[in-house]
Structure 1
Amino acid sequence: IEVTAHDRKGLLADVMNAVAESKVNITAVNGRTAKDKTAIIHLTVDVRDRVHLEQVMNKVKKVRDVYTVRRYSGST
């Protein structure tokens, strides 16, 4: 999953909590902040199926200051 958001204190914790509430195992996390203060977070998660993935993504979209959440394969 790729998350873009306004970088702020506690953002990563809020995103991780949203994922954890969905009962999903996070196997990898990578993040960076662009010069314009946009945080880009890549999460690798174990989900049951596409429906479960959509539920997780919708939960993350509700986190304050999140702009976008999308499926990310790592190849783009």
Structure 2
Amino acid sequence: MASKSLQDLKQQVQGAAQEAVTAAGSSAQQVVDQATEAGQKAMDQVAKATQETIDKTANQASETFSGFGKKFGLIR
């Protein structure tokens, strides 16, 4: 009987340990997913800000050259 009780206890401990490992794995995956999502959002924001800066700079350059062209009579 004692052997059966020990075997049952061993199975219960193994089952609990497996559940704990599974739960820890799920939690770790959630952390990785959240970090990946946050990183992607940050990269999207950087790309958007960079594109906006490029667009503004290009517009300013275009306006400046247009102003020079008008000033020197190259553009009407």
Normalising to structure 2: TM-score of the pair? 0.21
Structure richer in helix, relative to its length = 2
Larger Rg: 2
Normalising to structure 1: TM-score of the pair? 0.21
Structure richer in strand, relative to its length = 1
Greater RCO (CA < 8 Å, at least 6 residues apart):
1
